[in-house]
């Protein structure tokens, strides 16, 4: 069964450093998403992406964040200058169509020291 994959599973970084989280969505999916879950809190939407453009972004997704689909398979989330409060699980998701179910990857645990 096709699945969303994410690398790395755990990323530790120093405050102020840039990190890139990588995702490989399900191959025939066209819509891509990033969510995050801070420990003990809800899963929160960050951004959705379609046709090489951001469709929607939340208040969390400020200028420190960017997304990119650098090739036909990867979808990345970049945090330019990490803050302590960026520590969270980051989940990538994809869906085949606009209204279809979103399937999630296993997540990347980001720890900012």
Partner 1 sequence: DQQVKQNSPSLSVQEGRISILNCDYTNSMFDYFLWYKKYPAEGPTFLISISSIKDKNEDGRFTVFLNKSAKHLSLHIVPSQPGDSAVYFCAASAPHNAGNMLTFGGGTRLMVKP
Site residues (vs partner 1, CB under 8 A): 4, 6, 31, 33, 35, 41-45, 48, 55-58, 91, 95, 98-99, 101-107
* CB contact at 8 A, 34 and 91: yes
SS3 60: coil
**Distance, CA of 81 to CA of 88 (rounded, Å):** 15
Q: Measured from the CB of residue 16, what is the shortest distance to partner 1 in angstroms?
A: 27
Q: Report residue 77: phi and psi, to 5°.
A: -120, 125
Q: Would you say 14 or 27 has its CB closer to partner 1? A: 27
Q: Would you say 7 or 44 has its CB closer to partner 1? A: 44
Q: Would you say 14 or 40 has its CB closer to partner 1? A: 40
């Amino acid at each position: 069964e096709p699945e969303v994959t994410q690398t790395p599973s755990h990323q530790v970084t120093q405050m102020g450093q840039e990190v890139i989280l990588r995702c490989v969505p399900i191959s025939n999916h066209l819509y891509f998403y990033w969510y995050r879950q801070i420990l003990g809190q809800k899963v929160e939407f960050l951004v959705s992406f379609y046709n090489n453009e951001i469709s929607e972004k939340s208040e969390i997704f400020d200028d420190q964040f960017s997304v990119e689909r650098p090739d036909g398979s990867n979808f990345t989330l970049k945090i330019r200058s990490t803050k302590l409060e960026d520590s969270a699980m980051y989940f990538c998701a994809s869906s085949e169509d606009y209204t279809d179910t979103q399937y999630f990857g296993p997540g990347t645990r980001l720890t900012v020291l």
